[in-house]
Amino acid sequence: METVQGVVQTTTTTTTTPPSPSAHMVHWASRLRPESIVHVKGTEDTEDTEEVRSTSVHNAEIRVIELHVISRVEERVPFTVYDADLNKDDKEAKLASLTPYITDRARLGSRIIHLRSASAQAVFRIQSTMSLTFRSNCYEGKNVVRTLTRIPPFLEIHTPKLQGGASESGASVFKLKYFGRLAFLAQSPQLFKQMAIAADFGGVFEVGPVFRAENSNTKRHLTEYTGLDLEMGIQREYHEVMLVVDSVLKAIFREVYGKRRREVEVVKRQFGVGEDLVWKEKTVVMAFADGIQMLIDDGWVDDSGKPPRKDEDLSTRAEIRLGELVKEKYKTDYYILDLFPKSARPFYTMPASPSTQSHLSALHPNSPAPGGPCGPLTHSFDIFVRGQEITTGGQRIHTYPALLDSMAAHDISARGLEEYLDGFKWGAPPHGGAGIGLERLVMLVLGLGDVRYGSMYPRDPRSLPEPPRGLEGVRHVEASTMGVSRLSQQRLAPPASSLPPIPSLIANYGDAANTSWLDDRYLVWRDVVSGGAIGFVPSSSGYAIVVGDPLCDESQYVGIVHPRTNDSVLSGLSTNSTLDPSSESTITPGPTSPSTQNQNLTYPSPLPPLKPIWLLASSHLERILGSRLSWSSFTCIAESRVELEGEVPGALEDKEVARKVRKAESEGVSVGAEESKAIALSLKHAIDERIEEWKEGRKTKGGQVRLTDVEVWRDYIHRVYFVALAPKTKNTTSATEEEEDNIPVSLVVLHQLSPLHGFQVKYALDFPSSSSGSIELTLSSAMHFVASTGSGRLTFGTSATSRLTPTRGLRGMRIKVLSHAYEAISDRMALRGKGEFRKKMGAEEEDVFICFPRGGMGARGAKAVLDFCVAES
């Protein structure tokens, strides 16, 4: 995409020079928002132009005479195309001090803007070339290997993506209802490709979508991607398939680095990839067992200190290291591993011939040497680019009895696969094929570092967030903020008692952060039009620490946030609020005790002008604050969520967790689930005493980071209590426990959130001197409870992440200062401990953000946040 600099300025004109824009026109043009679409008329100027480095045309510019707006930008864009094209070196250069830091999340979160950048345009021009080259090399006359092996021309086909059964073992599938029956989204066109070969099509290929329901939040995985698949009859032996795939891939490489050289250079500059892909005309091919032996000889071991095995698949780390070893030895980024073990292949893969198996077994005998024997092999291969697998291929089982035996061995039912099996009942020729992930191929060839950059609109486990819910989605209809305006029949603001209570709003719209508003120190604004709320804590240093998203429907965020928040003070409230610092008004904090949980207390006002800092903002709210109010933001905090989907996560089957649970059960620990009103008063007293013991123990640890106090009985209507009891020991006696057989050893309190967010683990307390595994057992019971409700969503709340990541509007020295401060505080207070424990329980991290206006995060602002979060002993 060509770019050229245009200049709008007033100049002295003569009879021989074109007319100059007026001062009024220059002023008008300067106020146009970036990314507005305009029609320009002007003259080319090459004589007086210095080199323009920010455009693709460096030695010319346009002197604008006329400027017409075709399409206006109605809302400030989150970043400009120029910002998006800054590379890593630019970010460290002096130029970066004048431009915002654009993170990966921000780029992908505002995808349309990012796709306008030169680097993104280059990526998808290269992707188009790859797809076209794949197609052209599969057609007759384009593949040189065909002349050597007498392979017939390939036919492009289009297979269904709705299937009655799963096509592969080991990979999850998306299930859906199909007119009262169960269906699956295709994991690949594998079964239909084979059926086409059984129907005498000779060779077929397809470019189409592939779906994988694997909850892998990595830079290598997508839940939907584009597959480049081919299948072909085999004339003599299965290496014919390998030769064809190898030939097609190298043709793609030649086209990319030949016809798309300019785009490659743009991508290299943006992503910092120094070297072109290196491949040999005669591709390096080695047996899988030989590749494993290279790792063993190198001394490579996995995370548990064990060397790789020759009868198991490679891990990602092992793949990367083997790629480095191959590059060192053979000077290539591209190679093939042949003869994969049977344990690493799907049910339809052809076992290796007896002669091949005997030969490899002799080279890698069964011995106590590291790596062990090679085990049963298959006629299959993987092709690697820059140390990562790019395609899997091989020969398929083509005889019906052998296929049934393999399906039984892999525990795959024939139900739903009847049409597929018919092709083998009626005779199928020897055949094989391969599948290539287009987005991963783009990522690895170009060195993008993240497969999402190779997908125009990437789909991963975090894609497709649920839309805001209306009345049908709230738990308390009477507390909906989407109903009739509460000012419709009143001239003045209604009394606080007529507004929806905070606990009901939390159950309708809240996330984990909102439950902290129930603490005494929080004040709550109430929007008297909708009943929505924003919770904050005023700081003695003139700041308002706002916590969590507003309690209202997401569609109302702009209306509730925007009139109340600006770049200087938090006192710019509209008249539609119960808080107006310029008048004698009241502010309604959350309840302070179970007995007052539906009452509103008052706080004296007026409050002084307060500068806002917003903590724990969702990505949706962060975009509103950033795009509409030009706030800056960063993240060093993540929400720890578990998606149960009717089942308990496999983390509870982890050996360490399971061992601790068994130990606790063997020591007599039992867990009961109760609502507060059903808990005996004596047990409540015992729990209170144990909480005080727990608090005393925490004091010895000095400063503690907190958002909320430990008040387990507050808003008990929306809570469920899981109490682990164990027989008393000599070290645990108290006045209230002398007559009791069991004492509380751990407590987990679930708080009901909005239907969108499910439940929060509000408290997970492991009391002093409790049995090992008590808290794991209690959490396991709570997670089973959430799974049984059908909600499927559980959050542990927020915890610190490993590093501070700028998101919007941060640059230069400020990033370094904030990062160093965060590292120091994180190390001092062991902030990452919670996150590690939660990951062990199956939680995935979802970033939340700290947002602030211009001048909001100086030394005083940072201290206000720290004072808010840290409770000194």
pLDDT digits (tens, 9 = 90+) for 113-136: 999 999 999 999 999 999 999 999
Q: How far apart are CA 757 and CA 752, in angstroms?
A: 9
pLDDT digits (tens, 9 = 90+) for 598-625: 333 334 456 778 889 999 999 889 988 8
User: How would you list the strands of the sheet with 175-178, edge to edge?
Assistant: 162-163, 181-185, 175-178
Q: How far apart are CA 489 and CA 494, in angstroms?
A: 10
Q: Cα dist. 179→4, 161, 606, 615, 675 in Å?
A: 55, 16, 61, 46, 40
Local structure of 774: helix, strand or coil:
helix
pLDDT digits (tens, 9 = 90+) for 34-62: 889 999 998 888 776 677 766 777 788 88
Joined together, the tokens standing for residue 16 give 């021989």
Strands (E), 580-631: 611-617
Residues 6 or more apart in contact with residue 165 via CB below 8 angstroms: 184, 413, 415, 416, 417, 420
Q: How far apart are CA 601 and CA 592, in angstroms?
A: 9
Q: How far apart are CA 22 and CA 25, in angstroms?
A: 5
Q: How far apart are CA 270 and CA 82, in angstroms?
A: 12
Q: How far apart are CA 421 and CA 401, in angstroms?
A: 10
725 versus 485: which is more confidently predicted? 725
Q: Residue 739 carries which DSSP code?
A: T
Nearest alpha carbon to residue 461 among 227, 188, 174 = 174
CB atoms within 10 A of CB 367: 9
Joined together, the tokens standing for residue 168 give 């592969």
Residues 6 or more apart in contact with residue 588 via CB below 8 angstroms: 496, 499, 523, 524, 526, 578, 600, 601, 602, 603
What pLDDT sits at residue 489?
A: 39
Do 564 and 625 meet the contact criterion of CB atoms below 8 Å apart? no
* pLDDT for residue 751 is more than 80: yes
Beta bridge partners of 227: 208, 437
777 versus 20: which is more confidently predicted? 777
Q: How far apart are CA 635 and CA 641, in angstroms?
A: 17
Q: C-alpha angle 250/255/259, rounded to 5°? A: 160
Nearest alpha carbon to residue 515 among 763, 697, 723, 309 = 763
What pLDDT sits at residue 97?
A: 45
Do 325 and 308 meet the contact criterion of CB atoms below 8 Å apart? no
pLDDT digits (tens, 9 = 90+) for 310-340: 888 998 889 999 999 999 999 999 999 999 9
Q: Residue 180 carries which DSSP code?
A: T
pLDDT range class, residue 384, cuts 50, 70, 90: very high
Q: What are phi and psi of 449, to 5 degrees?
A: 85, -20
CB atoms within 10 A of CB 292: 27
pLDDT digits (tens, 9 = 90+) for 648-694: 555 555 567 777 888 888 888 888 888 777 888 888 999 999 988 88
pLDDT range class, residue 843, cuts 50, 70, 90: confident
Amino acid residing at 437: G
pLDDT range class, residue 596, cuts 50, 70, 90: very low
Q: What are the domain boundaries of the chain?
A: 5-71, 279-385
Q: How far apart are CA 775 and CA 669, in angstroms?
A: 10
Nearest alpha carbon to residue 802 among 828, 842, 829, 835 = 835
Enclosing H/E stretch for 2: none
pTM: 0.65
533 versus 569: which is more confidently predicted? 533
User: How would you list the strands of the sheet with 523-526, edge to edge?
Assistant: 523-526, 533-538, 543-547, 611-617, 844-852, 632-643, 793-808, 759-766, 742-752, 719-727, 670-674
Joined together, the tokens standing for residue 750 give 């679930």
Q: How far apart are CA 674 and CA 748, in angstroms?
A: 11
Parallel, antiparallel, or unpaired for β 742-752 and 719-727?
Answer: antiparallel
Burial of 349 (C-beta count, 10 Å sphere; 0-12/13-18/19+): buried
Do 871 and 704 meet the contact criterion of CB atoms below 8 Å apart? yes
CB atoms within 10 A of CB 443: 26
Q: Residue 69 carries which DSSP code?
A: E
For the chain, give the percent of residues with pLDDT over 70: 79
pLDDT digits (tens, 9 = 90+) for 407-450: 999 888 888 788 899 999 999 999 999 999 999 999 999 999 89
Q: Residue 753 carries which DSSP code?
A: -
Scan for tokens 């200087």, then name that residue: 568
Do 752 and 719 meet the contact criterion of CB atoms below 8 Å apart? yes
Nearest alpha carbon to residue 390 among 382, 379, 400 = 382
Average pLDDT over residues 532-543: 88
In CATH terms, the superfamily for domain 279-385 is Bira Bifunctional Protein; Domain 2 (3.30.930.10)
pLDDT range class, residue 102, cuts 50, 70, 90: confident
Sign of CA dihedral 312, 318, 324, 325: negative
Burial of 95 (C-beta count, 10 Å sphere; 0-12/13-18/19+): middle
Joined together, the tokens standing for residue 178 give 């199909």
Average pLDDT over residues 712-726: 91
Q: How far apart are CA 103 and CA 94, in angstroms?
A: 18
| Mean residue pLDDT across the chain | 80
Residues 6 or more apart in contact with residue 732 via CB below 8 angstroms: 743, 769
Joined together, the tokens standing for residue 473 give 């989605």
Cis previous bond, 606, omega within 30? yes
Q: What are phi and psi of 737, to 5 degrees?
A: -110, -5
CA 400 to chain centre: 42
Amino acid residing at 868: F
Residues 6 or more apart in contact with residue 822 via CB below 8 angstroms: 636, 803, 804
Phi-psi region of 156 (alpha: psi -120 to 50; beta: other; left: phi over 0): beta
Amino acid residing at 332: T
pLDDT digits (tens, 9 = 90+) for 164-175: 876 664 457 898
